[in-house]
A and B are shown apart, each in its own frame.
Chain A
Amino acid sequence: MRRVRLASRPRVARLLRLVALHAVLLAGSAVFLLPFLWSLSTSLKLEREVFVFPPELIPAQIQWRNYPDALTALPFGRYTFNTLLLAGGRIVGIMLSCSMVAFAFSRLRWKGRDALFFVLLATLMIPPEITLVPQYILFSKLGWVNTYLPLVVPAFFADNAFFVFLLRQFFLTIPRDLDDAARIDGAGYFEIYWRIIMPLSKPALVAVGIFAFPYNWNAFLQTLIYLQYRELFTVSLGLSLFQEQYYTSWTLLMAASVAVMLPVLIVFFLLQRRFIQGITFTGLKG
């Protein structure tokens, strides 16, 4: 594996480029951090400091107690457990079903494949708001309202066209000879799927995880209409409870929001490293 030779460049130029890169990234990061910094700042203020004008980024006295106050005002422990259960269930379902369906669309030839793929893509373009009520009526008739069923079961039936699309494109890049060789060895299609394609697809599956986890963690409207009992609530539904009829508890809302974001951030930070590492493998030269 030959790398581009950097040793031939003068070291000073290298150092300058490094500094420039850091400068640009720092500036960009500062800009991108602003919205978060504001919510962090609000979360550490007293309620009456929130309205001070001009707005102050740093509170006069840091109110760390907003965090325990917010997190105990509602059973966030329970909500976190619920959200993990829900997100976890959905991700497992998606990984299994979307990969199977993507396998069908990418590695197998069968009648009607292209037409069905077109239908799949078309479903991506349908706004969810318009199917909201008919779907709700459907699940009502099934008696699934007030459970997690309407949220989790469809995940096991590849209800997410985006991930099917993603995985299919990825599967398309894995060399066919692997399939052929396996088939000559007498392997069935399921074995090809499970023992060859899936292991090679770890990077794509990690990508699906990176997209799916925050999406499910923060999902709001769908969970709202199907979950009626407080004990079933997720963290994002819990956050909305800080908005009362006549006012909103801003400091508590922000404290809870920041706390709720942390798991997602940690998951992302851990995954992104593995993810970039992992993909330097499949079918590349150099």
Chain B
Amino acid sequence: MHQRIRRRDFVRIGGGAAVGAALVANSPRRSRAQVTTVSYGTPGGVDEDEAWIPVFEAFNESHPDIEAVYMPLGGGYAPQYLQNLQARIAGGNAPDVFFVMDGLVAGFAERNVIVPIDDYLQAGEVQLDDFFEAHLESFRYEDQIWGLPRDGAPMALFYNAALFDEAGIAYPDETWDWGIFLEAATALTKRDEGGRAVQLGTGRGEWVNWVWQAGGDILDASGSTCLLGEPEAIEGLRFAQDLVLEHQVAPSAEDLADQTENDMFLAGRLAMFFGARGALGAICNAEFPFDAAIAPQGPARRMTRTNVGPTVLWSGSQNPEAAFELMRFICSAEGQRLKIEPTGFAFPSRVSSANEEWFTEFQCGQSAGKGINLAFREEIEQGWVRTWPTHPRWPEISTAITEEIDALYQGNKTPEQTGEDAARKVNEFLAEPA
């Protein structure tokens, strides 16, 4: 009886060992040890992975002593990317160069997760004037530069040309101000007998755009006081709220629960909406002619927010010089062209790239003009864009403000209350020691 047990057990243990061996063997082999290896981390995706291939091939070819590895960290551009990244940083396995959401650069900088690249820029004689200043601003913290932008798009006004033609309204252009904008949006809004929106004139636009256009701001120049309680900011907040609640030309919370603004636009239910150029990835599927225009002018100035795709250098990197070379290439004109040209959706972070044909002549689907390229470029070239403030505690500040903005859009607070409450909360954060 003992013998029988042993044999059966042996078979099972043997099977288990075989499975174990298969698991270990399934792990990839290490890379060669002669060259310096550096890795670049980004969430990745089906299309994105493909888009990076030519970039890495070109880099490895032109830099024979460095092997650059594309390290997609998976999980989509979703919360898990951040968790993954931070766990790896803590565990000492982070990529040498990586992408992080732009609001977090200052926080990472403050906590020495990343290193400033001023010295590398000088040593490598990198010219910064080809980059858009607005993008670079989000990398400046405590008088140093902490990263380079790999892409990044301002927000422009996408519009449904067919709906405009139908209503007999001229397409948006540089003469538009709040008044004209509102008029057009009102004319383009249709509701059924029940008051439900059949078609809406415009998307909400980011609240901060309206605040800036009215002359307000989030933080003052020194970054130590919140200005959301000031009259200009409140005026901006009022306009934002009025679009939804007073004039009812923008989607209400209920409308948004049915469809996102992006989807509404694609369904032909939204005549205009403010989006980054990357939204083209979805909008190119539209079944109507569309284009983009620069955002309307506010009472004080023209201003919208721009996205940025940060590339930063890990402080724990074993090969910072080689890592910088990779960062430099990714953000170079050629690197950007290699990556962006195939799909065409991102907006390059370099002035020269934005003036090249592969960018300016881009068309897709039923796009009806060059606005989808030039509107974005003009905004950023003319300096009509800004990024979120660089503050190490930006995520917390942003969350606090968003709560107030939610209340504003729900109609639970007046613009004055919203601005003052937000300013109070933010000032509390700013007063706390880091």
Contacts and interface: CB of A to CB of B under 8 A. Distances in A.
A and B touch in the complex (CB under 8 A): yes
A220 B47 CA distance: 21
A47 interface: yes
A89 B80 contact: no
B45 interface: yes
Contacts of B77: 243-245
Contact of A140 (B49, B92, B279): B92
Interface string A57-78: 0000000000000000110000
Nearest to B151: A245
Interface string A182-211: 000000000100110000000000000000
B431 interface: no
A146 interface: yes
A21 interface: no
B22 interface: yes
Contacts of B276: 246
A96 B16 CA distance: 11
A225 B22 contact: no
Interface stretch (A26-34, A100-108, A232-240): A232-240
A42 to B, nearest CB: 12
B23 A241 contact: no
A106 B386 CA distance: 65
Interface in A137-189: 137, 139-141, 145-149, 152
Interface in B43-79: 43-49, 71-78
Contacts, number: 147
Contacts of B78: 240, 243
Nearest to B198: A53
B156 to A, nearest CB: 14
Interface string B82-103: 0110111011110000000000
Interface string B258-272: 110001101101000
Contacts of A240: 74-76, 78, 80
A133 B94 CA distance: 13
Contact of B285 (A48, A85, A224, A248): A48
Given A147-B24, A194-B5, A228 B71 contact: yes
A35 to B, nearest CB: 17
A53 B259 CA distance: 9
A89 B5 contact: no
A246 B28 contact: no
A249 interface: yes
Interface string A218-258: 00110011011111110001001111111111001000000
Could you say which of A50, A139, A245 has the most chain B C-beta atoms within 10 Å of its C-beta?
A245
B177 to A, nearest CB: 29
B23 A149 contact: yes
A1 interface: no
Could you say which of B9, B45, B73, B287 has the most chain A C-beta atoms within 10 Å of its C-beta?
B45
B286 interface: yes
A34 B16 CA distance: 41
B76 A243 contact: yes
B122 interface: no
A51 interface: yes
Given A148-B26, A221-B80, A229-B28, A89 B20 contact: yes
18 contacts: A48-B286, A51-B266, A52-B267, A73-B46, A85-B19, A133-B87, A133-B91, A140-B91, A224-B75, A224-B80, A224-B84, A240-B74, A240-B75, A241-B72, A244-B76, A246-B279, A246-B345, A247-B279
Interface of B: 5, 9, 16, 19-20, 22-24, 26-28, 43-49, 71-78, 80, 83-84, 86-88, 90-93, 258-259, 263-264, 266-267, 269, 276, 278-282, 285-287, 309, 345-346
What 9 A-B pairs come out closest when comparing CB atoms? A246-B278, A243-B76, A140-B91, A247-B281, A244-B45, A51-B266, A247-B282, A48-B285, A53-B267
